[in-house]
Structure 1
Amino acid sequence: MSSSSESSFDEPEECSVANVAVLNKYKVAGKIADKVAQRVVERCAAGHSVRELCEEADKMIVWLTSSIETGDLRKGVAFPACMSVNNCVCHFSPLENDTDVKLKNGDLIKIDLAVHIDGYIACVGYSHVVGATKKKPASGRKADVVRAAYAALDASMRLIKAGVDNFKVTEVIQKAAEAFQCKPIEGMLSHQLGRNQFEGGKSIILNPNSAQKREHEKSEFAVNEVYALDILVSTGEGKAQEATARTTIHHLNDLAYPLRMKKPVKDFLEQTSEQYGTLCFHLRNVRNHKAARPVIAECVSHGLLTPFPVGYEKDGALVAQFKCTLAVTANGIRLIAGGLPLDMNSYKSDHNIADAGLKGAADGKKPASSWRGRPKKGETFPIEMFKATLPSPKPRGKRYSFAERTETAALVRQYRGSMQWVANYLGVAIRTIKRWIKIKLPIE
């Protein structure tokens, strides 16, 4: 999600999803992103700390990506986990000394994170009302805004294909939100993605005002392009404003450094470039971030860093978000990340969608057949959070995915090493016992 201007963007063919190796990297990153988002949703309960949940999500991403053998390729967090509550629109991920938020039953939370493998980014966003279940569903405006955002995501995914222009998607999102008497957040952008690039040359704008309509460039989707489709819908005025919350997420711009530069600034930029490249980073991961604040402020003022400020709607408003990563193919789209379903029985709205083309998501039906490449039923990433387990046996004739093969190999090596240690230990123990009791056991 961004509101910055567009720039030229031309990705070479070997770095596009037409390359099977690139597509596999996107898929692995997408499965990890979905798994982490699902785990965070399960952990969202009354009394839990937003800061701790964000830190836990980033640690899970690092742990999962480090378990995959990719040689010297970079991998890990592409966008630090954020959790924005109620009228907070986006990018809330506080530091240890910042004001934290403790979740309460009925809070509407938005989870936003991204994972990358070798610079190929998979973004995911999900909304959830704390404590909402089938037996105790969320209702009123909370249910309205969640279902409006989900319906807008589904409807836009049904529309996107090669040759469709971006303003048609903007119109569909607007219609879906208005059916629930909500508004998309004004001026927010869903960008084309590239290797190490969050903001490509094409984008989809939400709820543009007159000036934004004139300035925003019209474009058409093309085969082998990848997009982060980011839907943000509000029950309020549909406008995000910066508040007093500290900005904790930045990314380094791909710009030449000024020749005359202070040594602390130069050292900081070199360290950031080496560790994160042009991907996003959190201040908590910056060495001595308190001392680095003046340096970061200077970098932002000179355009060397791009900040992601925390946005807020007016008090009393509610904001919901759903985000997915998709690739445009010749036959439709392929879902890379953001495939977590919404349980419609947990959100009871008094509004309905009259437009037949938008009814699929509102009724909780499966996405349209144009969702090419949607994960098959039962296909999951083989790592469970904090407990590694081998994937369940596949039917005869079925092949394991790239992610399953690489992760299974790592788990098997770990298993063999553990079993060898146990065997050696037992062998020593048995020989010692035999010497002590001078009895020849039937185990040689």
Structure 2
Amino acid sequence: MKKISIKTEEEIQRMRVAGVLTAKVLEAVEKLIKPGISTLDIDRFCHNYIVNELYAEPGSLGQYGYKYSINTSPNNVVCHGIPSAEKILKNGDIVNVDVTVKKDGYYGDSSKMYLVGDVTEHARRLVHVTQQCLYKAIRVVKPGATLGDIGLAIQQHAEANNYSVVRDYCGHGIGKSMHEPPQVVHYGVAGTGTKLEKGMIFTIEPMINQGKYHVKVLNDDWTVVTKDRRLSAQWEHTILVTENGFEVLTLREEEKSTFIQ
């Protein structure tokens, strides 16, 4: 098994830069997300913004043969939604935009849920509870805590709200590669799994379903949807383990009062 890398101060600083740029993309794209826009339009905007405004690289482009710069996952799409000119967002949709930015050899990775027009209360609730799951998990992060503690925080809050946690996909270490050890699963048992150490950097990205946690991959061998066709939501941040706790490297302006850093 590959060892989990402990980042140097220089690497951490580079990843701070990549994280800030990743957050900027999710902030900038918000104005576009309205009924009538295609998910391909969202992808093209993000690509142009990353390359021409941020002078960085879209981290997802070319990874595993992927041809787009972001993932767009509406409604019952759990993750890995492929941008398409045919997929037009409509009033009442929810959509996850997942962005990875590479700058000076290092990656930042984050995703956000967007509400399209007038969204039903039950869909809003799923989006809100999923964000709370992420925040509760982040607050667990500190040296000596375990990956099981992170997973448990997510699982407890999701299940207390009568939702389920997707088992098949997880967070991951990140650095010079987009995906590094460890795998960060979103369910677990307290005190189990890898112990966190200062200098570790990884994503936490819970996928929470309205119905059952079972998923399937579509015929494109990429897009993941809920088996029961009910809604799914996801939020993601890149997290650094600090000496006494955590730092959210992909923090957006709107969240700065949530995590005073």
With the length of structure 1 as denominator, give the TM-score of the two structures. 0.53
Label 1:130 to 1:323 Cα distance change in 2 as closer, same or farther (>3 A): same
Cα distance, 1:24 vs structure 2: 2.7
SS of the aligned residue for 1:327 comes to: strand
- 8 Å Cα contact 2:38-2:84 kept in structure 1: no
Partner of 2:63: none
SS of the aligned residue for 1:188 comes to: coil
Letter in 2 for 1:125: S
Residues 204-228 of structure 1 show CA distances to partners (whole Å, capped at 9, x for unaligned) of: 21247xxxx9xxx821111011011
Equivalent position to 1:327, from 217, 235, 240: 240
CA–CA distance in structure 1, aligned partners of residues 170 and 4 of structure 2: 19
- 8 Å Cα contact 1:92-1:310 kept in structure 2: yes
Letter in 2 for 1:311: V
Cα distance, 1:82 vs structure 2: 1.1
Q: Does 1:196 align with 2:171?
A: no
Equivalent position to 1:114, from 93, 97, 100: 100
Q: Does 1:9 align with 2:18?
A: no
CA–CA distance in structure 1, aligned partners of residues 228 and 254 of structure 2: 29
Within 5 Å, give how 1:236-255 maps onto structure 2: 236-244=211-219, 246-247=220-221
SS of the aligned residue for 1:337 comes to: coil
- 8 Å Cα contact 2:175-2:201 kept in structure 1: yes
Letter in 1 for 2:18: A
Letter in 2 for 1:336: L
Equivalent position to 1:146, from 98, 108, 127: 127
Name stretches of at least 5 consecutive residues in structure 1 with no aligned partner.
Answer: 1-6, 67-74, 133-137, 248-308, 343-364, 375-444
- 8 Å Cα contact 1:144-1:180 kept in structure 2: no
- 8 Å Cα contact 1:141-1:235 kept in structure 2: no
Partner of 1:317: 230
Residues 265-294 of structure 1 show CA distances to partners (whole Å, capped at 9, x for unaligned) of: xxxxxxxxxxxxxxxxxxxxxxxxxxxxxx
- 8 Å Cα contact 1:84-1:92 kept in structure 2: yes
Label 1:39 to 1:315 Cα distance change in 2 as closer, same or farther (>3 A): farther
Identity %: 22
Residues 286-345 of structure 1 show CA distances to partners (whole Å, capped at 9, x for unaligned) of: xxxxxxxxxxxxxxxxxxxxxxx2100135411111100111010211111043647xxx
Within 5 Å, give how 1:139-218 maps onto structure 2: 139-200=120-181, 202-207=182-187, 218=193
CA–CA distance in structure 1, aligned partners of residues 84 and 31 of structure 2: 23
SS of the aligned residue for 1:155 comes to: helix
Within 5 Å, give how 1:1-400 maps onto structure 2: 7-11=1-5, 16=7, 18-19=8-9, 21-66=10-55, 75-79=56-60, 80-94=69-83, 100-132=86-118, 138-200=119-181, 202-207=182-187, 218-244=193-219, 246-247=220-221, 309-339=222-252, 341=254, 366-367=257-258, 371=259, 374=261
Cα distance, 1:177 vs structure 2: 0.9
Letter in 1 for 2:2: S
Cα distance, 1:180 vs structure 2: 2.2
* Bigger CA radius of gyration: 1
Residues 76-100 of structure 1 show CA distances to partners (whole Å, capped at 9, x for unaligned) of: 111221111100111122466xxx2
Cα distance, 1:187 vs structure 2: 3.0
- 8 Å Cα contact 1:48-1:103 kept in structure 2: yes
SS of the aligned residue for 1:123 comes to: strand
Label 1:10 to 1:242 Cα distance change in 2 as closer, same or farther (>3 A): closer
Partner of 1:4: none
Name stretches of at least 5 consecutive residues in structure 2 with no aligned partner.
Answer: 61-68
Residues 355-377 of structure 1 show CA distances to partners (whole Å, capped at 9, x for unaligned) of: xxxxxxxxxx943xxx57x3xxx
With the length of structure 2 as denominator, give the TM-score of the two structures. 0.88
Letter in 2 for 1:115: V
Residues 368-389 of structure 1 show CA distances to partners (whole Å, capped at 9, x for unaligned) of: xxx57x3xxxxxxxxxxxxxxx
Structure having the higher helix fraction is 1
Residues 229-274 of structure 1 show CA distances to partners (whole Å, capped at 9, x for unaligned) of: 1111110111221113x35xxxxxxxxxxxxxxxxxxxxxxxxxxx
- 8 Å Cα contact 2:51-2:57 kept in structure 1: yes
